[in-house]
Structure 1
């Protein structure tokens, strides 16, 4: 088999993944795009392992297994973050996430005398959302 074909396919997969990371606004689709890029890297590692056997015996396949484990961990942590974001916002859109929120020194985590914790700006109360 010619090693050029898997390299071209991996480059195309990686390009599709980069496009998905740059263009998608939904967190779940962003995670899927990252998974596509990791699969492209796996294809390159396995192809390089089959074409260059002299350096390391099955080194590319071992690295591919490490990438698969890394991808599984990334999916677990990423989906936990996405689910928490959906619980807080009732949406998985990444444009609505505020990264510049810094609590004031006067805001205590215990809240005021009523016992309620202060709601940070940009975070509304969770409400039930019906079918759209």
Structure 2
């Protein structure tokens, strides 16, 4: 498969994730959009790494990105659960108070 097609798929996934982050008001949907953007970046890293048989830096770096994304998802979801308990909503427009 040509590199152009894989990079176009990565760009499409990144734009779809960015669209979700910008347009959605639900905190969980925003987290899903961020995960989609991180996966698009991983796809590009692995695509570039696969076209050079000696270079493994892209694959190694994508493992680190996957690890950070998993930690971000766990921390993000725990924050969303706490915010939901306090405000009784996951709508980002309605969450405008910080408890001091």
TM-score (normalised: structure 1): 0.71
Tell me the alpha carbon deviations over residues 89-116 of structure 1, each in whole angstroms, 9 at most, x when there is no partner: 11100001115x586xxxxxxxxxxxxx
The alignment partner of 1:68 has SS state of helix
Whether 1:72 and 2:64 are equivalent positions in the alignment is no
What is the aligned partner in structure 2 of residue 47 from structure 1? 47
Q: What's the CA shift for 1:52?
A: 2.9
Equivalent residue in structure 1 for 2:57, among 42, 56, 59: 59
Q: Structure 1: state its 5+ residue gaps.
A: 104-132
The alignment partner of 2:93 has SS state of helix
The alignment partner of 2:96 has SS state of coil
Q: Structure 2: state its 5+ residue gaps.
A: none
What is the aligned partner in structure 1 of residue 16 from structure 2? 16
What is the aligned partner in structure 1 of residue 37 from structure 2? 37
Please report the RMSD computed on the Cα atoms of aligned residues, expressed in angstroms. 1.5
Tell me the alpha carbon deviations over residues 20-68 of structure 1, each in whole angstroms, 9 at most, x when there is no partner: 11001000000000000000000000000011345xx311100100000
Evaluate the alpha carbon distance shift between residue 27 and residue 102 of structure 1 in structure 2; reply closer, same or farther with a 3 A threshold: closer
What is the aligned partner in structure 1 of residue 79 from structure 2? 81
TM-score (normalised: structure 2): 0.93
